[in-house]
Structure 1
Amino acid sequence: MASAGLIVYVLESQRIDSTLNQQIDQEIEEFRVLEGGLDPETGEPFEDVERLLRLFLERNVTDDDEMLVIYVDGQARQSSPNQFGQAILDDPAYQQAIDRLSRRGGTEVIDSARYHEVWVTRVNVEDVRSTTAGGALVIINYADDERSELDRTMQTYGVVTLIFLGFITLLALWRAGRLLAPLTALRSTAAEIGATDLSRRIPEQGNDDITALTRTINGMLERLDSGFTAQRQFLDDAGHELKTPLTVLRGHLELLDHGDPAELAETRDLLLDEVDRMSRLVGDLILLAKTRRPDFLVPGEVDLDHLTRSLLAKARALGERDWQLDETAAGTAVLDEQKITQAVLQLADNAVKHTDPGDTVAIGSAREGGRIRLWVRDTGDGIAPADREAVLERFGRGRVRPGDDGFGLGLSIVRAIADAHGGEVVIEDARPRGAHVEITLPDRAKETTWPRS
């Protein structure tokens, strides 16, 4: 607003100067026309300077801020009527300006003590007769009224500007408060979040950049909360499941009789079995913890027909069953072949544990509706509908056969691998009996950004 006011002031000042110059040029032009014309009384060119000047003064109608003075023989002889009076003629600044312009003529701006800014223009006229002295037309323009009007306009502009600045300031404070409210909430929420509680979220309101930032921060908090939850779950699971085998190890070591070779051999086999069991448990827990890492998957193009047949060939070593190939999908897909192989073989291993020799275990794949399906079905005990969600959780177990020493992590690993691919695990009844466990994955392009838990 200050810059706008300055520009307006400069432009208006230039306009005033231009208007005054136009008035002066107009008077000079009119005077030159009369000077080059004929005397209306004689019909001849003007021979008397004073006659020329007086006739011009009589015919001219001056503006309110303008005054004409005629000089003959260096003396002021007559002036046009005006609202300012004759006092300007006695002003020392005016008299000095007239003296300076006596030879060359022209315009000079003076600062009068009474009238402030005054433009003085002198037009010299020489008489054609040598017996008569020369004369001059003096044009006086008073700029004080125009300048005062501009000053009053700028004062009004200043008052209006201050009022609007106050209004804009109040509006800006109100709007800034509303805009910064999410940032304040963000700061307070961040201050309240502790290492043991990352469940707090910032309220999302509106649809602007601040809301987008809030949404991004909430997403970051969600990922942090998920990561810390996974860490705590890993520690809780590891501590809980390792407590029993460690207790067994300690108890046998404390009661071990070093003098009895038979007991040493029996205890050694028992402890090695517990160590192997702990190693499998730790390996499964570490795998589950890694599923949330961005480098968990290494996707690549995989031939689905070759993958399905390879899975069946590898699964045959898991047990004496009637292994069958249902069908295979055509073409290639983008997925992590190693992790998918691990998941399907885990399903096949579960199928072996819940079937008897001679039972059917089948593996197949299909591609339909933008999805890729990989499944394992068997003719064993099946999974009760009430247990299907529980067995997909960590350490969740349904009805198992005697001798099954699993930890309840197998299907949770399968689900984690499916989730990392953006898919899911579905458990259904097989026909005529048994379980049908299927991994369903999106049929993604190679450039697709993979989801992260």
Structure 2
Amino acid sequence: MTRTKFRRGWRLFTVRGWILTAVIGLAALAMFTAGYTAYLIQDLRVEARVDDELRASAEEFRLLAESGVDPATGEPLGSPTDLVRVATGRQVPGSNGGVLGIVDGRIVYTSSVAPLDLRADPEFENHLRPLTDQDEPVLETLQTAQTTYRVAVIPAHDGQDGGEQAALALAYDLDAEKRAFSEIFWVYAAVSAGSLGVVALVGWAVAGRLLRPVRVLADSARRIGREDLSERIPVTGEDDLAEMTRSVNEMLERLDGAFAAQRQLVNDVSHELRTPLTVISGHLQVMDTADEADVREARDLTLDEVHRMNRVIDDLLTLATAEHPQFLRPGPTDAEALTEEIFEKVTGLGGRSFSFESHARGPVVVDRQRVTQAVLQLAANAVKFSGPGSTIVMGSRAVGDGIDLWVRDEGPGIREEDRERIFERFGRAEPSKPGAGLGLPIVAAIAQAHGGEVRCTSEVGKGSTFALWLPRSGPGVVAAD
């Protein structure tokens, strides 16, 4: 019970669901990677811009120290304190910046126009004080409980030991600078989430449309049973799914043919073996076991019927395997040598006058044993349906891109309406003649397996000619040993 529930739960993850999950996952990964990469790049750009502004302010302070004048007196700036005072008033930092003037370690001057009040953060002043004792400009990042600052401290000295020590401190709230751009990426995240929702809806619809042939295939497979393989799956489009559907239809064709052959074999066996079994059963039932002659007669009849059943079974098995890949074992053969070899065997049938008329020349790819079997069957039929002392002529000739192996007799001939029927199983032109009617169907099966055909021309009262045409290049599919 638990396993059944597990399988039902697992089936919720259908191919459609897996495809949609993969698409959304890849889209989300791509969006996250692109957004995070852009965020890191923008973060570095913010830091670089802040550093550039701080360096530019430091350069302005240096120029002011070299050639600046006091705006109140018009005289050159004479002391570090005056330099810091004037610089503090002139500096106009950005939206998240602040300026401080420091003299002897104390904050003396602040900028009234600076957006950021650095004195509002007491911890900042404690971190800043050690930097004002330096002899060279300092660019540092200071971390307080409130925020993170990027600070530039530019010292100003009078050059005398124990003289005034002043410094100009410029700072930017780095977190506030980055926060403005972070809001943009929150908007990006919201838009990405909405886009993923759209991708999910569209992907669900597209995946369903693409997988529709698979569902049709599955539904058709459920309907198709062993007894009915006639249904075929409709093919739409020219994509991979359409190709898969065609392959499945071809497989169904092969299965349908295989089951039809199986049913035909069963029907043929039951049809042809029922009579000899009935004969055997009837004679055994009426046999007088005390009469030695009657027992011997019943035995001979039973053996004869058993032999006939064996021949019928062998013929039916030959027909049943005619479409099997291993039915033929073709190889290159000389047409002239093959014809002469078969003729020598035909003359062994006896009881008739045999004549050889002509032979084809050149190579041909055939199964020598199967071709010999077919031509001997044609010759055996000619012997069966012709009179004693009549002539049976055999030969071969080139016809188009193949060869004809033919047998001509002087028998009663075959009516035109019977010429098609004689190639069907158990079809016979003269039911009074012995035989099961399987010889010519076997010949036709051998011809078809080679990619050829068997033809019959006949004139009633004068005889018949059976020609086995075979392509020189051999069957379309050559089976390996």
- Find the counterpart in structure 2 of residue 24 from structure 1: 54
- Residues 441 and 58 of structure 1: CA distance in aligned 2, closer, same or farther (over 3 Å): farther
From 115, 118, 142, give the equivalent of 1:88.
118
Q: Could you tell me whether the CA contact under 8 Å between 1:69 and 1:76 is conserved in 2? A: yes
Deviation at 1:253, TM superposition (A): 0.9
The runs of 5 or more residues in structure 2 that have no matched partner are: 1-30
- Residues 273 and 131 of structure 1: CA distance in aligned 2, closer, same or farther (over 3 Å): closer
Amino acid at match of 2:208: G
Q: Structure 2: how far apart are the matches of 1:150 and 1:226?
A: 71
Q: Structure 2: how far apart are the matches of 1:186 and 1:251?
A: 53
Amino acid at match of 2:265: F
Aligned-pair identity in percent equals 38
- Find the counterpart in structure 1 of residue 456 from structure 2: 427
Q: What are the Cα deviations for residues 107-141 of structure 1, in whole angstroms up to 9, with x where unaligned?
A: 1243564xx44322222333213463111121112
- Find the counterpart in structure 1 of residue 472 from structure 2: 443
Structure 1 counterpart SS, 2:379: helix
- Residues 121 and 436 of structure 1: CA distance in aligned 2, closer, same or farther (over 3 Å): farther
Structure 1 counterpart SS, 2:132: coil
- Residues 133 and 371 of structure 1: CA distance in aligned 2, closer, same or farther (over 3 Å): farther
Deviation at 1:59, TM superposition (A): 5.7
Q: Could you tell me whether the CA contact under 8 Å between 1:107 and 1:119 is conserved in 2? A: yes
- Residues 98 and 235 of structure 1: CA distance in aligned 2, closer, same or farther (over 3 Å): same
1:107 aligns with 2:136: no
Deviation at 1:19, TM superposition (A): 2.0
Q: What are the Cα deviations for residues 212-247 of structure 1, in whole angstroms up to 9, with x where unaligned?
A: 222222222222222222111111110111111011
Q: Structure 1: how far apart are the matches of 2:253 and 2:123?
A: 83
- Find the counterpart in structure 2 of residue 9 from structure 1: 39
1:407 aligns with 2:436: yes
Deviation at 1:156, TM superposition (A): 1.9
Moved more, 101-110 or 196-205: 101-110
- Residues 433 and 139 of structure 1: CA distance in aligned 2, closer, same or farther (over 3 Å): farther
- Find the counterpart in structure 2 of residue 194 from structure 1: 225
- Residues 91 and 429 of structure 1: CA distance in aligned 2, closer, same or farther (over 3 Å): same
Q: What are the Cα deviations for residues 78-102 of structure 1, in whole angstroms up to 9, with x where unaligned?
A: 34454625x3223123212212433
1:323 aligns with 2:351: no
Structure 2 counterpart SS, 1:274: helix
Q: Could you tell me whether the CA contact under 8 Å between 2:132 and 2:166 is conserved in 1? A: no
Deviation at 1:204, TM superposition (A): 2.0
Structure 1 counterpart SS, 2:457: strand
TM-score scaled to structure 2, two decimals?
0.82
Q: Could you tell me whether the CA contact under 8 Å between 2:421 and 2:427 is conserved in 1? A: yes
Deviation at 1:38, TM superposition (A): 4.1
Amino acid at match of 2:464: A
Q: Could you tell me whether the CA contact under 8 Å between 1:68 and 1:79 is conserved in 2? A: yes
Over the aligned positions, Cα root-mean-square deviation in angstroms equals: 3.2
From 119, 127, 130, give the equivalent of 1:97.
127
From 377, 380, 399, give the equivalent of 2:408.
377
Amino acid at match of 1:24: L
Moved more, 302-311 or 148-157: 148-157
Q: Structure 2: how far apart are the matches of 1:347 and 1:144?
A: 101
Moved more, 341-350 or 127-136: 127-136
Deviation at 1:189, TM superposition (A): 2.4
From 223, 229, 249, give the equivalent of 1:218.
249
Moved more, 25-34 or 8-17: 25-34
TM-score scaled to structure 1, two decimals?
0.87
- Residues 289 and 108 of structure 1: CA distance in aligned 2, closer, same or farther (over 3 Å): same
- Residues 46 and 222 of structure 1: CA distance in aligned 2, closer, same or farther (over 3 Å): same
Q: Structure 1: how far apart are the matches of 2:344 and 2:371?
A: 15
Q: What are the Cα deviations for residues 379-437 of structure 1, in whole angstroms up to 9, with x where unaligned?
A: 4333333333322221122x2274x2111111111122222223333333489954333
Deviation at 1:251, TM superposition (A): 0.7
- Find the counterpart in structure 1 of residue 169 from structure 2: 138
Deviation at 1:173, TM superposition (A): 1.3
Structure 1 counterpart SS, 2:267: helix
Amino acid at match of 2:54: I
Amino acid at match of 1:216: S
Q: Structure 2: how far apart are the matches of 1:40 and 1:70?
A: 17
- Find the counterpart in structure 2 of residue 416 from structure 1: 445
> Counterparts of 1:335-350 in structure 2 under 5 Å?
335-350=366-381
Q: Could you tell me whether the CA contact under 8 Å between 1:57 and 1:79 is conserved in 2? A: yes
Number of matched pairs: 445
- Find the counterpart in structure 1 of residue 14 from structure 2: none
